[in-house]
Structure 1
């Protein structure tokens, strides 16, 4: 079965006065129809740059696509003419940006911004587009849709602006929705409402979703598969069960150890990941996480690990998964807790 989206060996650099930043280094993944894929990792890991390349939003210059392929519904996106790419963006692929206040046009009424894609991509008349825009405002749970249609973004609260962004992204019934940190600037209550809305819409429309986040609680609640990124690379991927119950990369262990577990009776101190992310001007020749990893071996510093398949689709790029590496019980003896 062919995948809805296939990203293969993607490499993206940015030219700066200080040198060339290797932001995305040989990333590959796929998304199937109706699936929710989460991409997690700390700031600077390459999550947003990866998904922005799908939408053709990498500015060139300074951005350079050094290699790879992005295929949507079997058709290449990277080498497609801009005019053809515009037909895909907004109509077949929608995107919810991290900060709705900077993504919405402050000089346009919200209803007109929802209409824009409908008129361009679906060739609706102004009256049809207005009717559909009001329906979308209602669908995303904004009260008084007819009144809100004529208001400007500054008249909306933060949560309502994010709902308006979701309405714009979903207006043309896209096959794939990319949500880049959609709840970052919202308070906890509104976060829950927005995530519940996305989950409900995904179940009803069977839209595929790529969810970019650093919140593992959100991942556990919404996704089926997870990609863990670090230093511009994919270091582990698998199902939600694989990542939460049987993680196989020390960076994933670190992420899981740094979040509280309300189910545990005994309270324990959270464990931060010591150190800093790698310098992507001059990435290390070995594993990018090795300088921060308490289990690093000499080979980790000198050579990039292969992609080891743990079990049916669960893969990790870590030398500890090599048959010659120390066994799990030895790692536990060194201080790693059992999952």
Structure 2
């Protein structure tokens, strides 16, 4: 997340507290991404899985289960399921977005080809469904399969909404719930379900994951316009160049006069971008307070996540999850 602080980052603390469980998840991932007949599958999967990501989503599942007192073996299966779903969607996303880089490395579709990326992504989805069946819990199956459908739905919605000036904040949140928050909330909710906690606690875990995912994505979209390239790994204005209608731009368009609206129509809808357009876009975002309002929204969702987790029994893991909700938006302070 690119924030240098003397204090240990919450996701690093989570990884430390859950290191034994996480070793089990990593071993299970390696075992299940193997393929007897198609060696390209583990090659492509390993390129992403071993890329040094934070493994935040599986950590959320492990933390939720442990926090709720679970002592069985199946939280490891569910955490691996969540990581497989996430990896499959990354493989597919990079093809859809025609990306050439992820986490500072060439994407699988660039190193191999689009066909390999799509088919290996399909294989990982199938493996995820095999894993989620193994705990023998229908509610877990329901939550994770719904999340997989919501993710796909969010991606398709984004195709039509991303360059349409009529896209509202509500549609944006719907897209974000699909592409980011659905897997966060499923990851936390299944931890509670496998531990057998009551509906109120399970709902609190869902609400935490949902708000955390939305805060995380809004912060990410804001950093595209005001982040430090070294810290974020993204160039300022990438979303603008890729004609993505994210929350800051949606807010600026809602406040735009006729001339400003024509500018957004030319640059985002039509993709006719010229020298100086990014600077003008930034000026419009500042003129209408769109960046400050987006920051307020990110902080609001972070607070919702912290309020949700605060209703659960006190524990060290709960405190770290609360810190995590604060941390994902600390980048935009």
TM-score, normalised by the number of residues in structure 1:
0.29
TM-score, normalised by the number of residues in structure 2:
0.30
Higher strand fraction (1 or 2): 1
